[in-house]
Chain A
Amino acid sequence: MSDATIKTDVVIIGAGPVGLFAVFELGLLDMKAHLIDILDKPGGQCAELYPEKPIYDIPGMPEVSGQELTDQLMAQAAPFGPEFHYNRMVTGLEKLGENEWRVTTDENEIFECKVVVIAAGGGSFQPKKPPVPGIEEFEQSDSSNGAGVHYAVRKMDAFRDKDILISGGGDSALDWVLNLQPIAKSMTLVHRRDDFRAAPDSVNKMRALVEEGKVNLHIGQITELTGESDTLNGATLKNKEGELQHIECTSFLPFFGLTMKLGPVAEWGLNLEENLITVDTEKFSTDQDGIYAIGDINTYPGKLKLILSGFHEAALMAHDAFKRVHPDQKLTFQYTTSSTNLQKKLGVK
């Protein structure tokens, strides 16, 4: 949390492949960028949904994994010193004056900039919330208080001496069973089948703890949460046979993966078509001066949701944004292969 206003040329919303390449294109034209992303790492969907999955349609890269592409784009952007702000959602976008925008986040940061680039892909990743009736009442917004429902663990110590119930069968669920079990008062894991997607090593460790009686494993699904006023004290488990069982817990951590929601973007008054931002394909500008939209979040006739389209869009955006950031300068089009000026910026020796 910070009250100091960060002043910069450009704020990029979303640090996915297209946002990262925008840093490069902006940097070549002497524009400095800050990136804000809801995830805890760069790469967007590439890093979150398919880090290991090969991508075959990046020009010049016959096969590259989502993580490798992210790493390469980070290296390509590095000479321009982008600054990253992870684990934050942009909540507000407000026009301050001609060529001046204010961007605010859910961590109360304030950015003031001349250009905003929305490269938010499918929207912001948010945890899937199990549709258990009344779950919202038990959601805990204070990450240092382990009681109640949490969709992520920010401070492990918050869960010390708690009766923890974890639901899910993937790596997040199993990792937190293993990491929190030693400090918990009790640990219960619930999964809908006796088969886990998580890394085999984690599954073996979890099974060993079950053998030792340190973790309670139930096969079934949570159908109800119970508590007094807004304090969680238990959950109802329905097993395969449909029988109900009460489980005592003070903390419930469901791990059902992430889903993409457009989020606050919808509230910024931009022209939308089926939840996508319409743009002018000459500059990839939106209907508001100084706001651009590139990558999967935009739409225009013939749009293809491909990473390579986003790269092209980033280049055109940067050339138009230049006029806003450096209104007094003349833009000379140059190639990185031949321009010593560009090579100097890239740190080529």
Chain B
Amino acid sequence: MTKITFVEHNGTEHALDAENGMTLMEAAVKNSVPGIDADCGGACACATCHIYLRDGWAEKTGSREEMEEDMLDFAFDVRDNSRLSCQIKVSDEIDGIVVDVPEKQF
């Protein structure tokens, strides 16, 4: 089990244990983390599972692929540390990761 913490815009923390192999988005939805809408169910087609990586995690999660980069055009307040959580796989590598949920997913 890998520890993941989602921090809502209002500061509420959701620390959860996720199985390796699932995506950050799936872990969030399974645990009803508010603010991760995931309309399309993980097909990288909606940009409603947008999150911000905290410092230091970008290297461990890998970089955005072209499809994700394109989909981020549909997100709002996109920053350098923006990612779509459906494109990040849970693994031992990211144990302890902390991500921020934007104020709104549209």
Interface residue ranges, A against B (CB under 8 Å): 49-50, 122, 128-131, 168-170, 191-193, 195, 197, 221, 223, 256-257, 259-260
Contact = CB atoms under 8 A, between A and B. Distances in A.
B73 A192 contact: yes
A130 B103 CA distance: 12
Nearest to A305: B41
Interface in B74-88: 74, 76-78
A130 B77 CA distance: 9
B78 A260 contact: no
Cβ-closest 5 pairs across A and B: A131-B104, A128-B106, A257-B74, A169-B73, A197-B70
Contacts of B46: 259
Nearest to B73: A169
Nearest to B106: A128
B83 to A, nearest CB: 14
A259 B103 contact: no
A259 B39 CA distance: 8
Contacts of A128: 74, 106
25 contacts: A50-B45, A128-B74, A128-B106, A129-B106, A130-B76, A131-B76, A131-B103, A131-B104, A131-B106, A168-B73, A169-B73, A170-B73, A191-B73, A192-B72, A192-B78, A193-B69, A195-B69, A221-B76, A223-B77, A256-B73, A256-B106, A257-B47, A259-B39, A259-B106, A260-B39
Question: Which of B46, B73, B78, B103 counts the most chain A CB atoms within 10 A?
Answer: B73
A81 B76 CA distance: 43
B79 to A, nearest CB: 9
Contacts, number: 40
B contact face: mostly helix, strand, loop, or mixed: loop
B98 to A, nearest CB: 23
A260 B104 CA distance: 15
Interface in B22-52: 39, 45-48
B52 to A, nearest CB: 14
A129 B39 CA distance: 15
Given A122-B39, A131-B76, A131-B104, A259 B70 contact: no
Contacts of B78: 192, 221
A195 B78 CA distance: 14
Nearest to B74: A257
A221 B77 contact: yes
B32 to A, nearest CB: 11
Nearest to A49: B45
A170 B45 CA distance: 14
Contacts of B74: 128, 256-257
Given A129-B106, A257-B74, 7 more contacts: A49-B45, A128-B74, A131-B106, A170-B73, A192-B73, A221-B78, A256-B76
Contacts of B48: 259
Contacts of B70: 197
Contacts of A223: 77
A122 B106 CA distance: 16
Nearest to B102: A131
A150 B72 CA distance: 21
A10 B45 CA distance: 33
A273 to B, nearest CB: 15
A131 B48 CA distance: 13
Given A192-B78, A221-B78, A259-B39, A197 B73 contact: yes
B103 to A, nearest CB: 6
A312 B66 CA distance: 37
A192 B64 CA distance: 15
A325 B70 CA distance: 48
Given A49-B45, A256-B76, A130 B106 contact: yes
Contacts of B45: 49-50
B73 to A, nearest CB: 5
B51 to A, nearest CB: 15
Nearest to B47: A257
A210 B34 CA distance: 42
A192 B72 CA distance: 9
Contacts of B106: 128-131, 256, 259
